[in-house]
Structure 1
Amino acid sequence: MLVSTIELFTRARRADHLGIKGAEQLSLDWPAMISRKDEIVASWSKSKNATPGNLGIPALRGHATFAGPHEVTVDGRNYSGDKFVIATGSKPARPLIPGAEHAITSDELLHLKEQPKRLVVIGGGFIGLEFGFALARAGTKVTLLQSGLQIGPALDHDIRNALLECANEAGMTIKTNVKVTKIESDRTVEAEIDGRKEKFYTDQVLLATGRPSNVESMKPERANIDLDHGAVKVNEYLQSVSATHVYAAGDAAGKHQHSPVAWYEGPIAAHNALKGDVRKVDFSVFPSAIFTIPAIGQVGLTEEEALKRGLKMKTSKLPYEYNPAAGVRDETEGLVKIVYEEATDKILGVHVIGAHAEDIIQIAAVAIKGGLKKSEVGAMHYVFPTFGGAIFDTMAV
């Protein structure tokens, strides 16, 4: 929600040359934006909390822990069951950095009453990138510190390079190969970069180093539930490999930490728990998005992954500036990249950075799922002018 508001704010501020006067006078009302976010979340929560009752399902609210293989305790009372589905989500990680208590997590940032003028983000994965871009576009001076050699390690290299250009344009400072050694009480961040000691002065420090599963707080060992990196170790039916009466979904299963994955896995886990192991999870085609500004959408193999598998592949690339819709709307930052098998024309992966990437990547996902060849997609008629047309045009290259 913050991203959508800030994205609109960013576009509006640079709309002066489109004939919209006074754009440079616009300002962002941070408290109003946070208040609107709270109202929307409260509305969603109210609807979600009412669902069990509407379906005639009793709902208990409290913290559950296993008392045995078939028994849980909720606020001092024991309840037994034949089958269990664990869908307890995750929580922001707090790394073992001296002074980490002086920093905030993504959950806490979403409740800040004032926009920080300066922000240091520790972590260069999708959480750090999303919040870093949002705050930078909103006018905060953002410095992102990444422990690895590159941000977004799962990104295709061409998309990452384009993202770095966008970060520079947004005024972000990105440092890699960073070891954060301490966070002072005044939030000064001390770090080592390539053997040099540096200090970063800031108003807030955001910890964006991952989200571990909440399963461990349930005492899963009492039910003989094996964990893998803190999540339930499951098979293709989302069934615990060590406690076959237990199923898990979403972050509790730990395979892919995305909200749509939880929505996809939840019904499968429940169905298998009630009806037997019939439905398998299928992530053979797995589109995902990172809501930076501009956004990133990706599905399938990166160029690097295809090469590691020994595939003889080729790529097609088309900058957003060649997309008429992007030109009309003055959103020409971006790139579409297709990875395909040379001999068969099979689409191996599609990667997009640019406006509406999170939407247009789904065209590519359907094409891959349907087994369409690159040339077949490139020969299709499409609605013009649209951002989605960038996929078809790149397939035709």
Structure 2
Amino acid sequence: MKPKHYDVFIIGSGIAGQTAAKACAQSGMSVAIADKREYGGTCAIRGCDPKKVMLQFADLMQHAKQLKNLGVAETPKIDWKAVQQFKSQFTDAVPISTEKNLSELGIDLYHQSPKFISSSEIEVEGKTISAEKFVIATGYVPRTLRFEGAEFLQNSDDILNLAELPESATFIGAGYVGMEFGYMLASLGCKVTIIERGDRSLSAFDAYLVHMAEKSLAAIGVDFIFNAETISVELLNKNHRVTYRQSGKEHTLKTRVVYNTSGRVPAIDLLDLDKANIKADETGIHVNDFMQSESNPNVYACGDVSNKSLPLTPLSGLQGFIAGHNLIHGNEKSFEHPLVPSIVFTHPNLASVGCSEAEATSRYKSIKIFKGDASSWYNAKKNHTDTYAYKILVNERTDQIVGAHLLSDGANESINSLALAMQNEMTVAAFKKMIFTYPSYTNDLKSMLKNLD
């Protein structure tokens, strides 16, 4: 039997894959899409969106604790079952609506991870299928850890679907996921330990602010163990015993549950890329500026799985758009890394955009560093918090902001104002002439640009 043939076959139904698939279908191409999990992708079902729904209850609890006896007589009680039901209102409908939207465009749907069997063919659901072009948009998966008892580790999916809050939890890895969910569980009464191989958490963020963020989390009960290597996890009766090595000595701790938060890697292991001559490594599938495979011109890759991306949903959508456009019109549009703010949703939020201090120092002849502890400022005192700080980097020659790093209850929003200023190449002088709402965290940005380090 002759294999079924499509103009374009998409692998992955997250925002990158959906964007490319819809563009191609609307242009009249025959399109199919496959996913081994629920349609809709990580962000909408088991990532950004449900995480933020749940984290707001930790924020509520933390804010209430800060205002205890200042107007809040008793901290609230969280009904975790109700939280999960509320979260499900955002996630449960996504796969059905995604499949419906794709089907209405005439896109064929497959529910399995394909494997390449040649440069132009895949096998999926027991069928051999060929296509003129392929788009790989499979995203990231949790990194596999290999030590005795690693099979007892859970991951972020399990945290999002917790039936009840554990008495204690240990996170292996102090990146975004470990820090955010560690904060969430600690705020809701769980005893939290975070084990990290390095000497600090959140290695991509400014060390000055990270240190303050760690102190803030330690104050609510998060125990950090740095420069430590996890050796084994043993299942006990109700708990787990974690053994780790630090400073040449072995230590153990007991914990109800252990989470692998050591990072995420490109989801490519199931695809048999070698059979299609698709070059990839731990950074992802190697693509050119058109999101086209460097080794197989009939393949495009977009979103987290490409080696030109960062694990951020807006970038995935942009790359999906570029891949779709180039499939339809030929390689016309190229990808250039836009200015992208990043945020860690701990309490307070840790936000960053643009250059780190080291990057700015190496890139520009002379920079001005505006840095300070703002815990005595009105917005911090109003919230009764002792953690509020910033570091803003300015190119002295142009008077333009080249990097900004914020730690505050409002950093997730105020960082966008600095990103906008940087994108439009505003000078500090021009930015400080802006009128913002008062008293707001955004208005504080102007005061930050007065205090040189």
TM-score, scaled to structure 2: 0.82
- Please point out which of 189, 199, 216 is paired with 2:242: 189
Deviation per residue, 1:278-301 (Å, 9 max, x gap)? 222222412111111221111111
Distance 1:388 1:43, change over 3 A: farther
Contact persistence 1:326–1:387 (CA under 8 A): no
Distance 2:330 2:410 in 1: 40
Q: Which residue number corresponds to residue 202 of structure 1?
A: 255
Distance 1:208 1:147 in 2: 12
Q: Which residue number corresponds to residue 398 of structure 2?
A: 344
- Please point out which of 98, 104, 116 is paired with 2:166: 116
Distance 1:318 1:43 in 2: 45
Q: Which residue number corresponds to residue 223 of structure 1?
A: 276
Distance 1:323 1:78, change over 3 A: farther
Distance 2:55 2:244 in 1: 29
Distance 1:329 1:6 in 2: 15
Q: Which amino acid aligns with 1:143?
A: T
Does residue 416 of structure 2 align to residue 367 of structure 1? no
Q: Which amino acid aligns with 1:83?
A: K
Q: Which amino acid aligns with 1:190?
A: T
Distance 2:317 2:387 in 1: 32
Give the Å deviation of 1:335: 1.5
Distance 2:357 2:427 in 1: 17
Does residue 309 of structure 2 align to residue 259 of structure 1? no
Q: Which residue number corresponds to residue 170 of structure 1?
A: 220
Distance 1:361 1:125 in 2: 20
| Aligned 1:285-296 pairs, distance under 5 A | 285-296=339-350
Q: Which residue number corresponds to residue 61 of structure 2?
A: 9
Between Structure 1 and Structure 2, how many residues are aligned? 395
- Please point out which of 283, 290, 302 is paired with 1:249: 302
Task: Tell which deviates more after alignment, 277-286 or 189-198.
Answer: 277-286
Distance 1:212 1:165 in 2: 29
- Please point out which of 124, 135, 154 is paired with 1:85: 135
Distance 1:256 1:145, change over 3 A: same
Distance 1:150 1:53 in 2: 47
| Aligned 1:263-278 pairs, distance under 5 A | 263-278=317-332
| Aligned 1:120-139 pairs, distance under 5 A | 120-139=170-189
Distance 2:353 2:335 in 1: 17
Q: Which amino acid aligns with 2:360?
A: A
Contact persistence 1:152–1:160 (CA under 8 A): yes
Distance 1:311 1:114 in 2: 54
Please, which runs of 5 or more residues in structure 1 have no aligned partner?
none
Task: Tell which deviates more after alignment, 167-176 or 307-316.
Answer: 307-316
SS at structure 1 position matched to 2:122: strand
Give the Å deviation of 1:228: 2.5
Give the Å deviation of 1:391: 2.2
SS at structure 2 position matched to 1:298: strand
Q: Which residue number corresponds to residue 16 of structure 2?
A: none
Q: Percent identity, aligned pairs only? A: 27
Distance 2:413 2:104 in 1: 32
Give the Å deviation of 1:249: 1.2
Deviation per residue, 1:195-220 (Å, 9 max, x gap)? 12111111111111111222221111
Contact persistence 1:92–1:107 (CA under 8 A): no
Contact persistence 1:374–1:396 (CA under 8 A): no
Give the Å deviation of 1:31: 2.5
Distance 2:114 2:283 in 1: 17
Contact persistence 2:57–2:78 (CA under 8 A): no
Distance 1:216 1:369 in 2: 37
Distance 1:9 1:50 in 2: 38
Does residue 100 of structure 2 align to residue 47 of structure 1? no
SS at structure 1 position matched to 2:394: strand
Give the Å deviation of 1:120: 1.0
Q: Which amino acid aligns with 1:296?
A: L
Distance 1:267 1:322, change over 3 A: farther
Please, which runs of 5 or more residues in structure 2 have no aligned partner?
1-52
TM-score, scaled to structure 1: 0.93
Does residue 351 of structure 2 align to residue 297 of structure 1? yes
Deviation per residue, 1:108-142 (Å, 9 max, x gap)? 22222121111111001111111111111111111
Q: Which amino acid aligns with 1:355?
A: D
Distance 1:77 1:221, change over 3 A: same
Give the Å deviation of 1:343: 2.8
Give the Å deviation of 1:331: 5.1
Deviation per residue, 1:241-261 (Å, 9 max, x gap)? 111121111121143112232
Distance 2:262 2:302 in 1: 22
